[in-house]
Structure 1
Amino acid sequence: MLAVVLSILAILPAVVATLLEHVAAPMRLTERHHAHHDTYVVPPDFMRSLVVAMLVMGCTGVLLGIFCVLGLFDSTPELVLAFVDGFVVTMFVSWVALCRYKISLFEDRAVLTPFIGRDVFFFYSDVVAMDWSGIRRKSGYRDLNVHLTDGRDVRRDVRIYGVTDIEQVLLHIDRFDVLAPLTDDVSLDAPQQAR
């Protein structure tokens, strides 16, 4: 009985994500232009690849569980399915969090919906510095740290993850005067100075 429950749990998150991806497919555009703002989300190709990974892993786990029942593997189906379920559920939670993440850019302010938590609002005029951190993403950019201050000199930071189109976000914020360069490598300037 436990093996049946674990088999269902191995497949169910992937099926739910597949159905939600199919239903929301026309809405899942990387960049959406509205009358008064633009919204940027995680690319749908990346989201679909997570769903495919969940499906493949879930089906593989069920198949390996069947092999265990038939005696082809020297393990219990519960052990194999519990491992696969851990992977599939973790991927599903990651998929849900990534589906939620978006940044909406208005004329003078931005609204960031993080993976977890409440929306973060900030005005472009409150930006005092922007710098790069983290590893380079598929978009070609790292994460963008936006350092803010308000009229009372209260500082806070907002991190825009590189899974969205950072280039378009930067163009919309238009605060290149406070943006740190992409690289801190000064050796690029050395050959020009030697000339």
Structure 2
Amino acid sequence: ISAMDEKGGFIDAHRTFALIFRYLVEERGMRGAVVTSFNLTDMARDMCEDYGLPQIVVPIGFKHHCEQILKRGDVLIAAEESGSIAIRGHIPERDGVLCSLLLTEIAASSDKPMSSLVGSLFERYGPRFYRRRDIHVPERLEVVERLKEDPPERFGGRSVESVETLDGVKLRFARGWLLFRASGTEPILRLYCEMEREGDVFELLGEAERFAREGN
């Protein structure tokens, strides 16, 4: 699920998740574990730390979220980058209708417009801008494997602070991350990026595509 604000601005899945998560905790008083996909916003991590709730990061694909929901029994919310969200007290599966109703409730119960509600998240946890780019690269598996075997110390003019390989290869920078992930069913390399400035997102995605196509 995703949404639009009163100005016609797009509210992506990451911000939609954050709005619903905050509402469940702060307005409904609900608590529990939070299951997030490897490519979901870092705002999830910051919010879990803020609320003192455990976060479980899983590979991409909602089946991994469902496994945690059924296994743990204490999951408050589970979400992934594609907009899939599951909420405790309902079915252990994503449900866009329920989330749409919750977003409507959030909008109706607040005296602030949706753009301000999103803005308040940025004020509290810092700005987050995200984009995904899918590119046709027959050697997609080799690209990811090369990054795993020899991760760069710098990428796109930025120092790589750490490297994570739960599902693909995620390069972490001081203020964001870039993820390379190969499709298992088609010759597509998926590039995901989140940074504090929107311009940096497009810059890094361009560098990532060049790296994947040119091999250096």
TM-score of Structure 1 vs Structure 2, range by shorter chain: under 0.3
Normalising by structure 2, what TM-score?
Answer: 0.21
Normalising by structure 1, what TM-score?
Answer: 0.23
Whose strand proportion is higher, 1 or 2?
2
Larger Rg belongs to: 1
Whose helix proportion is higher, 1 or 2?
1
